[in-house]
Amino acid sequence: MTERSTREVIEAIFADAEAGDVDAVLRWWADDGVLEDVTIGRAFTGKSELRPYLNWYFAALPEVRYVPIRMLVDGLDAVVEWCQTSPVVGEFDGVAPSGQILELHAIDVFHVENGLIVHESSWYGDGWFRQRLHGMPGLTPALPVTPPLQANGTRFGSA
């Protein structure tokens, strides 16, 4: 397989994650890669820890839809602002399934080497996440969500 660029790797992992395909997601990870889920305060090292985490996440949120808002890439590093929606149908980090639609606004920071992710830090709402899962209204964002950029730098839906 030809080595992919950082942007290609990140675009591919988001597509595979939206499909809920754990094996496809894991093919983008280095064997000893580290995912820090800052929101729940846990780190997962290596595919042996990533697999159960991803199975847990996708079981709780099986209809997940990701909307990338913007991606900034600098060499081997990428920052992605994204939104996610999914009904909560399984337990996640001690939160019981409710069936309610969960909407998240998040940031992920990636480091990619040799076409594989070696590190990801993910923030998706912290206290806001728990409020939403417990059926309490979320905090109103300080700014409206920025529409995604197209490759030419214009906003989707604009002329």
pLDDT at 27 over 50: yes
Burial of 72 (0-12, 13-18, 19+ CB in 10 A): exposed
CATH class of 6-133: alpha beta
pLDDT at 135 over 80: no
Sorted by where each begins, the domain ranges of the chain are 6-133
- Does residue 92 contact residue 6 with C-beta atoms inside 8 Å? no
Burial of 17 (0-12, 13-18, 19+ CB in 10 A): buried
| Token output for 100 | 């309610």
Mean pLDDT of the chain: 82
User: Backbone dihedral region of 15: left (phi > 0), alpha (psi from -120 to 50 degrees) or beta?
Assistant: alpha
> Does the pTM of the predicted model rise above 0.85?
no
91-95 long-range contacts, CB within 8 A, separation 24+: 91/60, 92/56, 92/57, 92/60, 92/61, 92/133, 93/40, 95/130, 95/133, 95/134
pLDDT at 6 over 60: yes
Query: Confidence band (pLDDT; 50, 70, 90) for 134?
Result: low
Average pLDDT on 1-30 reads 92
pLDDT at 90 over 80: yes
Q: What are the backbone angles phi and psi of residue 114, rounded to the nearest 5°?
A: 55, 35
